Amino acid sequence: MEIRRTDKPWTEVEADWLIVPVIESTDLPAWLTQLDQALGGIVGRLKSLGDLTGKLAGTLPLRGITGIGASRILFVGLGVAKELTLARLDKALMTASRMISDKPETRVAFVVPSEAIGTVSPEEIVTAATTCGMVGSLGQDLFRTERGRHPFACLQIAASGPEAALDAAMDRGRILGQAINLTRDLVNRPPQEITPLGFAERARTVAADCDLRIEVLDQQRLEQERMRSMLAVAQGSPQPPCMVIVEHNGGGPNAPRLALVGKGVTFDSGGLSLKPTDGMLTMKCDMAGAATVLGAMSAIARLKLPVNVVGYMGLVENMPGGSAFKLGDILTARNGVTIEVLNTDAEGRLVLADVLSYAVDAGVDRFVDLATLTGACVVALGEDVSGAFTNNQSWCDTVLASAKATGEDVWQLPMWDLYEDLIKGDVGDIKNTGGRWGGAITAARFLQHFVGGKPWVHLDIAGPAFASSNKPHREAGATGHMVKTLVELARRFAT
Ligand code: BES
Ligand code: MN
Ligand code: ZN
């Protein structure tokens, strides 16, 4: 997709669609007067007829127009100006971009007013328009002969003002769009392609493109590292496991290091605790944590953030083959903790256990892990919200603030000691499930045994990582949820 900024007057920008934001207000916003005049006053008439309300994410297409460079206009509502947030802006611009991406070879221009709308600056609008143009026009129908959605042929950002700042905002938007689409692509691809080694191969390409250091630990190395908890999960599959480590050293040798750790179960059948078909149907998405880490790392590197960040991705397939691990097995994790297996479908925590302890020993200072870890978290918070869990409130506050700043929804759940009783082992140190109640929390408490007391936040993305249905503002399938938050977190980590 060709992406560029133009400072031509909006009336002269040539495009198949000109996307024009409007707000909920009594008068026509000042930025629309010139366009209104060029169109013979139709914008004003639509406003007085009540057709142009400006309500959040409401759209009004105008086709076959003359008098301006574009042949169609799509008005999109941003709601009340002083209530505008980045999350609302995203919703509106994603809706617009999805609406007009049903045909191939479309040339699109986003209009960006040169004044702030409420508290949202023109630069922020430029970034959002660029990202939404890229993410909204890409579908999950990767293998359909006739695609329902088509990436724009050309995306122009019609914004004039401080050139360097606007261009930087557009680059940022482009990098975020690329990262989110990378994460979505990895998750949307079928599990026959994205096996542990298939994922690692993609990671190598990404690392080369973004100038990330990469290391892939194969099964033999994992055995040398005594990662027996993770290896147990891989036992039932003919696909060998691996761990991908990518590194961005932008902060100098003495700066602290941030670890992003991702669950990469490339397919979760449940193992011997086999899932029923309905529950297994979307389990190609169980590597979304790893895909989110790789997406975020690609953006952190491309943005050249002055910070040291390492991404760790634990990749396995959970299958019920003849050599599968069994209920009642006792696993000795890399850090010596013994784990009693009560359910082979609680495999994500077994993978993360060893990956976290590897990162601890590598001397990383702070941790965030991302995992499609529990159905219980989806029951608790719904499909659109991630759960946060921590052993360090101030570090968690930083993560939550980063999420809030980018408009992604995350809600913290408690980690009280009373939950620990639920995972206390009878034969080994801990059990890999805590029973029916509080399942998202007992899973997090399990992980806490492997972070060596370092500041750590666990994000359970089981709900939002993979959407079950289309909405006007987002495609079903992989969402790329949390990529932006991680990039924002890395930015804050630097300062
Ligand atoms: N990958 C699943 C969790 C999941 C569920 C992700 C729904 C996305 C959507 C995880 O490995 C799992 O199976 N968890 C079990 C844990 C239980 C056996 C303690 C669950 O949530 O049922
Ligand atoms: Mn499972
Ligand atoms: Zn799983």
Per-residue pLDDT, averaged over 443-452, amounts to: 98
Provide the terminal-to-terminal Cα distance of the chain, rounded to the nearest Å.
Answer: 33
pLDDT at 290 over 90: yes
Per-residue pLDDT, averaged over 58-84, amounts to: 96
Indicate the pTM of the whole model: 0.98
Residue 376, domain CATH: 3.40.630.10
379 contacts 385 by C-beta, under 8 angstroms = no
* 196 and 152 fall within a common domain: no
Per-residue pLDDT, averaged over 160-179, amounts to: 97
* 214 and 138 fall within a common domain: no
Q: What residue numbers bound the domain in which 144 lies?
A: 2-161
Distance 345 CA to ligand 1 centre (A): 7
Q: What whole-number percentage of the chain has pLDDT above 70?
A: 100
343 pocket-lining for ligand 1 (C-beta < 6 Å): yes
* 110 and 155 fall within a common domain: yes
The answer to the question of residue 177 being in a domain is: no
465 pocket-lining for ligand 1 (C-beta < 6 Å): no
Domain count, the chain: 2
User: Atom 14 of ligand 1 has which residue's CA nearest to it?
Assistant: 374
* 402 and 458 fall within a common domain: yes
**HEC string for 2-59:** EEEEECCCHHHCCECEEEEEECCCCCCCHHHHHHHHHCCCHHHHHHHHCCCCCCCCCE
The answer to the question of residue 289 being in a domain is: yes
> Which among 161, 194, 218 is the end of a domain?
161
* Alpha-carbon gap, residue 374 to 437, rounded angstroms: 12
Per-residue pLDDT, averaged over 288-293, amounts to: 99
* 130 and 216 fall within a common domain: no
pLDDT at 207: 98
Among the bound ligands, the one closest to the CA of 376? 1
pLDDT at 495 over 80: no
pLDDT at 31: 86
What DSSP character marks residue 469? S
* 485 and 386 fall within a common domain: yes
* 375 and 278 fall within a common domain: yes
Give the residue numbers marked as catalytic.
Answer: 275, 349
Distance 489 CA to ligand 3 centre (A): 25
Q: What whole-number percentage of the chain has pLDDT above 90?
A: 98
For residue 235, CA distances in Å to 34, 271, 290, 433 come to 67, 10, 20, 19
* 198 and 137 fall within a common domain: no
What DSSP character marks residue 83? G
Per-residue pLDDT, averaged over 162-167, amounts to: 97
Distance 284 CA to ligand 3 centre (A): 9
> Which atom of ligand 1 lies closest to the CA of 465?
8
* 293 and 219 fall within a common domain: yes
pLDDT tens track for 233-272:
999 999 999 999 999 999 999 999 999 999 999 999 999 9
pLDDT at 320: 98
* 195 and 155 fall within a common domain: no
Q: Mean pLDDT of all residues in the chain? A: 97
The answer to the question of residue 484 being in a domain is: yes
Per-residue pLDDT, averaged over 69-97, amounts to: 97
488 pocket-lining for ligand 1 (C-beta < 6 Å): no
Q: Amino acid letter at 92?
A: A
Distance 240 CA to ligand 2 centre (A): 18
372 pocket-lining for ligand 1 (C-beta < 6 Å): yes
> Which atom of ligand 1 lies closest to the CA of 279?
7
Residue 37, domain CATH: 3.40.220.10
pLDDT at 494 over 90: no
* 134 and 193 fall within a common domain: no
Per-residue pLDDT, averaged over 61-83, amounts to: 96
348 pocket-lining for ligand 1 (C-beta < 6 Å): yes
432 contacts 346 by C-beta, under 8 angstroms = yes
* 214 and 74 fall within a common domain: no
Closest CA to 107 of 63, 139, 70: 70
